[in-house]
Chains A and B, each alone.
Chain A
């Protein structure tokens, strides 16, 4: 069974600094996708970044990058140059096999950016 583990319930970072949010996963399927979502206090789920299990390079999207270490089954999110608007819950999620199976989410990490 799929499992996503986010071990940091809360993180603090100084504005303009970089921060890494940890995510480890467990799957026996060789084909899977990893996703990060941001959930601000307003509640909506905002897609940030995707990494496929067969992708050779780490994904990047603007200030977001994914540190994908396949052998360690980790997919950490790195946010560079943190901004006050980055304060939110961040969820790691995984989907096995095809793009139609449901996402399995971790418990999330609450990031607080301090001025």
Chain B
């Protein structure tokens, strides 16, 4: 069964460093998403991406964040200068797209980012 993959599973970085979180969505999916979950809290939407551009972003997704689809398979989230409050689990998700409200978003296993 096709699945969304994410690397690394866990990343530790120093405050102020840049990190790139990587995702490989399901191959025939067209819409890609990043969510984050601070420990013990709910899952929050960051950004969605379609047709090589951002389609929607939340207030959390400020100038220190960027997303890219550098090739036909990877979808990356870059945090330019990490802060302590960026420590969270980051989930990538993808969906095939369509007009129905049902289009299951397939979630990756997550990358746990720890900023020291």
Contacts and interface: CB of A to CB of B under 8 A. Distances in A.
A31 B99 CA distance: 10
Interface stretch (B13-21, B44-52, B63-71, B75-83): B44-52
Nearest to A92: B42
B42 A100 contact: no
Interface string B77-102: 00000000000010100010111111
Nearest to B6: A44
A105 B33 CA distance: 14
Given A43-B112, A50-B102, A104 B45 contact: yes
Contacts of A101: 48, 56
Range, interface on chain B = 20 to 34
Given A107-B42, A108-B42, A44 B101 contact: no
A32 B45 contact: no
Nearest to B33: A102
A105 B91 CA distance: 13
Given A99-B97, A99-B101, A101-B56, A45 B41 contact: no
B56 A99 contact: no
A102 B89 CA distance: 17
Interface of A: 31-33, 35, 37, 43-45, 47, 50, 52-53, 91, 93, 95-108
